[in-house]
């Protein structure tokens, strides 16, 4: 990536000079609307490099964290952690993010609306059946009724 900003996708706090591969990554970020978080925060050089050449001859920034441009305000810090105990010649790259989750209420489906005219018809039929069943049979005993 190198030092120097590139529109709104690359910050001005990179490390080294941009080469052909760095330019390809910039183009990719532009097309996908990604930002490189490592380059947006001013850190000391020890917090920028992510790979050290054998023999400690040179230090480079090869690893990046990319985030959608939409979430740029959520990223609070991003840096390399050279003291992290990982079994690699690359340094760990960490990012601090502030997330705010929203509570989404589930909509309860409304009960189906009743047709009042249909209810009157069905209610009338039901009333008629009940009245027919209640007609006293003169020869029936109490247990039969």
The mean per-residue pLDDT over the stretch 108-135 comes to 79
Name the average pLDDT for the chain. Answer: 82
Q: What is the pLDDT of residues 20-53, one digit of tens each?
A: 888 888 889 889 999 888 888 888 878 877 888 8
- Please give the pLDDT value at position 32: 92
- Please give the pLDDT value at position 73: 87
Which segment, 15-19, 77-81, 128-132, is predicted with the most confidence on average? 77-81
Please state, in angstroms and rounded to a whole number, the distance separating the CA atoms of residues 50 and 90. Answer: 5
pTM (2 decimals)? 0.60
Residue 126 has pLDDT above 80, yes or no: yes
pLDDT band at 136; cut points 50, 70, 90 = low
10-30 core/surface letters (b: 16 or more CB in 10 A; e: else): bbebbbbebeeebeebbeebe
Please state, in angstroms and rounded to a whole number, the distance separating the CA atoms of residues 69 and 30. Answer: 10
- Please give the pLDDT value at position 137: 60
Residue 125 Cα to chain centre, angstroms: 56
Please state, in angstroms and rounded to a whole number, the distance separating the CA atoms of residues 81 and 121. Answer: 78
């Amino acid at each position: 990536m190198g030092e120097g900003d590139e529109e709104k996708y690359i910050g001005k706090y990179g490390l080294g000079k941009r080469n052909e591969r760095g330019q390809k990554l910039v183009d990719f970020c532009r097309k996908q609307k990604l930002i490189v978080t490592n380059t947006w925060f001013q850190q000391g050089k020890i917090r920028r490099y992510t790979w050290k050449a054998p023999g400690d001859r040179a230090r480079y920034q090869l690893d990046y964290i990319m985030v959608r441009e939409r979430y740029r305000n959520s990223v609070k810090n991003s840096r390399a952690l050279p003291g992290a105990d990982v079994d690699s010649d690359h340094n760990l790259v960490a990012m601090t993010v502030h997330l705010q989750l929203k509570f989404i209420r589930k909509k309860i489906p409304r009960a189906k609306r009743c047709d009042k005219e249909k209810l009157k018809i069905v209610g009338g039929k039901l009333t008629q059946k009940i009245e027919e069943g209640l007609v006293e049979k003169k020869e029936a005993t109490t247990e039969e009724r």
